[in-house]
């Protein structure tokens, strides 16, 4: 990716929100002074890197925090767009399987089954942004379709 594309990508709402979420979980200030691409680098897992990770493995606390930050970012953007509180709920077993759900009022706007979370990542930051945007779009569509349930 060239610098112009990087700058455009890093200035998107989703990427800015991801950086905010990652900084929020950085209780020791490790990310202070780091550029956005370095903070988000752990989310990029190429096919070659994924092949090197064993198929069976247990996720560590850092990986779980990254996954939570991703769904927190999606929830935050839902709130910004519709003005209603979006609540992420993530349940992952010690073996790396579980579910991520985002609710707005009584409406489930996102439901994702999670598998092999110790191998969690995206081919590029652009693909991560696309996934976040897709989840946001579907969620906002559901809220638009069922506003009375989302408002409960």
CATH number at residue 101: 1.10.3100.20
Out of 30-34, 76-80, 82-86, 143-147, which region has the weakest mean confidence (pLDDT)?
Answer: 30-34
User: What total number of domains does the chain contain?
Assistant: 1
Q: Which of 23, 35, 48, 8 is nearest to 129 (CA)?
A: 8
Distance of CA 106 to the CA centre of its chain: 22
pLDDT at 1 over 50: no
pLDDT at 152 over 90: no
CA-CA-CA-CA torsion sign (141, 133, 113, 63): negative
Check residue 3 and give its pLDDT. 47
3-state secondary structure of 17: helix
Within 29-124, residue ranges assigned H as helices are 36-39, 47-52, 61-82
Q: Which domain holds residue 39?
A: 3-150
Interhelix angle 3-10/125-145, rounded to 10 degrees, is: 30
Q: What number is the average pLDDT over the span 33-59? A: 91
| pLDDT digits 0-9 by tens, 105-133 | 999 999 999 999 999 999 999 999 999 99
CB 146 within 8 A of CB 93: no
Q: What number is the average pLDDT over the span 78-95? A: 96
More confident residue, 116 or 1: 116
CB 119 within 8 A of CB 57: yes
Q: How far apart are CA 8 and CA 88, in angstroms?
A: 28
Kindly state the DSSP code that residue 28 receives in the 8-state scheme.
T
Q: What number is the average pLDDT over the span 62-78? A: 97
Beta bridge partners, 92, equal 98
Check residue 58 and give its pLDDT. 87
Q: What is the pTM (predicted TM-score) of this model?
A: 0.92
| pLDDT digits 0-9 by tens, 18-32 | 999 999 999 999 999
CA-CA-CA-CA torsion sign (54, 37, 123, 77): positive
Interhelix angle 61-82/13-24, rounded to 10 degrees, is: 130
């Amino acid at each position: 990716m060239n610098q112009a594309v990087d700058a455009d990508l890093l200035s998107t709402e989703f990427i800015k929100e991801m950086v905010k979420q990652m900084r929020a979980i950085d209780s020791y200030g490790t990310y202070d002074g780091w550029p956005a691409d370095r903070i988000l680098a752990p989310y990029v897992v190429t096919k070659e890197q994924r092949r090197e990770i064993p198929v069976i493995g247990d996720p560590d606390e850092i990986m779980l925090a990254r996954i939570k930050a991703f769904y927190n970012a999606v929830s935050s953007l839902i709130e910004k767009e519709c003005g209603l509180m979006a609540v992420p709920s993530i349940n992952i077993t010690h073996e790396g399987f579980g579910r991520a759900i985002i609710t707005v009022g009584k409406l489930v706007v996102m439901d994702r089954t999670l598998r092999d979370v110790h191998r969690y990542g995206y081919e590029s930051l652009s693909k991560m942004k696309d996934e976040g945007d897709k989840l946001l779009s579907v969620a906002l569509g559901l809220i638009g379709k069922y506003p009375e349930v989302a408002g409960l």
